[in-house]
Chains A and B, each alone.
Chain A
């Protein structure tokens, strides 16, 4: 029984499923963020943020999301440690043959994203749940999360950091998407090239989508 849970393949399924789940979150998050560009009064964005922050279903689901992150990170770290242990003595000349080059750096991009996540949560989520976000002038009872975001995105250093992290996220996703299908056993020579292409498009759309927002705000 223990081998079921601890099997390398089971861990890979968990990684893949959690990853794909987190990808869907990134898409939702991105679409909300883009509202900031659509509506300069921040009304739409704040409303959406308010909805997300109060809707009971979302509120419950948010713990599933946290769980997803936790599992993805935990299992990722375990897998990585096992991988390092599998080759105690390194090569003098490193292997050079990866087909999916970015796959080499999943742990590195992953850690960068995790660090960002902590800062990100501190910047927004913690302020929100501790009630430190000012009220939105446009609508009574709604916090002005949009203002918080815009203030951050007016700081050059923060924008730079944000852009770099999101580039790494793009790299992470580029390998991750097709890799998830391979791990789940859904590789077929017929549609795998399509999945690889789709993964790259998703990585670029998500990466650029997020990056676009601070750049527009900063340079405006």
Chain B
């Protein structure tokens, strides 16, 4: 396949960036999207040019490191996968592919397509945990948890923190991310003790960091590589309301 890549290049956090076009030839439809970028980078390095910086790590769709806004969609034109699982057979010979970094105020660009998502960690640090220390705990089976709740909690907990929800949201809202963590603990008895504190603190931190507000476009649910449901957002709205009135 021969393709034309239009890639956002930005030397550093404070530099002003621009789109640069790169033609690329002979790409196997069997290669992954990131392998296609690897090939581009090998060619750039061979020519003595600066390779394109992009985040990636496990390359099997679970670490949440890879990002990329490809032709208007985070993680590209396929559903329920991350960019590293996207394969070139999803494109046609001669296609132009526009590749941009995640765009959101709390996700500043570090270089080229790489952004800083430490804001997500800060939200978790604000309360995304059960405040217990390591030590002898009651036996794991002392606390039966209805399978349905355990499964719903697992659905929410499968979030990989990639930021696709923020990237696709027209408001750059982090509600799906935050609500997934709030939901996981709201659904489990272990999380009950500090449920109110947790949702209050996490929402306050989310607002403070400058994420946008949720306008229920549900784009996040469409683009989430782990297909996390917006019912989690409703659950967080409920939790927050209950925390505020009591």
Contact = CB atoms under 8 A, between A and B. Distances in A.
Interface in B205-246: 206-207, 210-219, 221-223, 229-231, 233-241, 244
Nearest to A88: B105
Q: Majority SS of interface residues in chain B?
A: mixed
Interface residues of A, number: 45
Contacts of A72: none
Contact of B211 (A86, A99, A192): A86
B36 interface: no
B213 A87 contact: no
Contacts, number: 146
Interface stretch (B53-61, B85-93, B140-148, B165-173): B165-173
A185 B234 contact: yes
Interface in B180-224: 200, 203-204, 206-207, 210-219, 221-223
B149 interface: no
B69 interface: yes
Interface of B: 6, 8, 19, 69, 71-74, 98, 100, 103-106, 167-173, 200, 203-204, 206-207, 210-219, 221-223, 229-231, 233-241, 244
Given A86-B171, A103-B215, 11 more contacts: A82-B171, A83-B171, A86-B173, A93-B100, A100-B218, A179-B216, A181-B234, A185-B239, A186-B234, A187-B234, A189-B231
Interface of A: 3-4, 6-13, 79, 82-83, 85-100, 103-104, 106, 175, 178-179, 181-189, 192
